[in-house]
Structure 1
Amino acid sequence: MTNNLKKNVTEPNTSKPMTRKEAKIEREVKEEVNMKWWSNLRLFPIGMRILVVLILLVIAAVSGAMIGYSVIGEGDALDTLKVSTWRHIFDIMNGVVDK
């Protein structure tokens, strides 16, 4: 039973004592190997990450406009998808008055 537990534990090299410098070099090599493994593992490439963030940004902006227009402005939520609504909003922002 103890043999099964010791398989995962590395046993120290008892033939020659390790200096601090050797131990540091060995640690750095192990960390470098671990970092190389981690850096090679990418679930989403950077281009895919940027695309996902942009899509989420558009979804958040559209849903926020729909909620704001329907709750605060007391209009229909689907009116935010119409071009005429946005034209009217930008006319108000730019100071153009309808006659």
Structure 2
Amino acid sequence: MSSITREKYRQEKKTTDAAEEEKPVQKVRVRLIPIWLRLILVLIFFALAAICGAMIGYGVIGDGHPVDVLKPSTWQHIIDLVEKETE
């Protein structure tokens, strides 16, 4: 009878040791927006913020029309003014 109790004890010991040695399962993080898409979105938002800032600065603070800031002739005029003052 003592051999049966030893066998049961060994089996129970093995199952408890195996349960204690198991590592906790790590959760896998699933990103809703991938990193490459985040970078593209940040660049797009940066460009939109720069355009909106230029429109506010040129149209609201300055005396021009906000849409004129998108025309290449406006930027050429600004570049000419800057280069003329440096000479």
**Common fold by TM > 0.5:** yes
Cα deviation for residue 92 of structure 1 reads 1.5
Report whether the alignment pairs 1:66 with 2:55.
yes
The TM-score with structure 2 as length reference comes to 0.66
Q: Find 1:56's aligned residue among 45, 48, 56.
A: 45
Structure 2 unaligned regions, length at least 5: 1-11, 14-19
Give the number of the structure whose residues are more often helix, by fraction: 2
Cα deviation for residue 55 of structure 1 reads 0.5
Separation in structure 1 between the aligned mates of residue 83 and residue 42 of structure 2, nearest angstrom: 30
Q: Larger Rg: 1 or 2?
A: 2
Q: Greater relative contact order (Cα 8 A, min sep 6): structure 1 or 2?
A: 2
Structure 1 unaligned regions, length at least 5: 1-14, 17-22
The TM-score with structure 1 as length reference comes to 0.59
Cα deviation for residue 95 of structure 1 reads 2.2
Q: Find 1:93's aligned residue among 74, 82, 85.
A: 82
Q: Once superposed, which parts of structure 1, at least 4 consecutive aligned residues long, lie more than 2 Å away?
A: none
SS at match of 1:42: coil
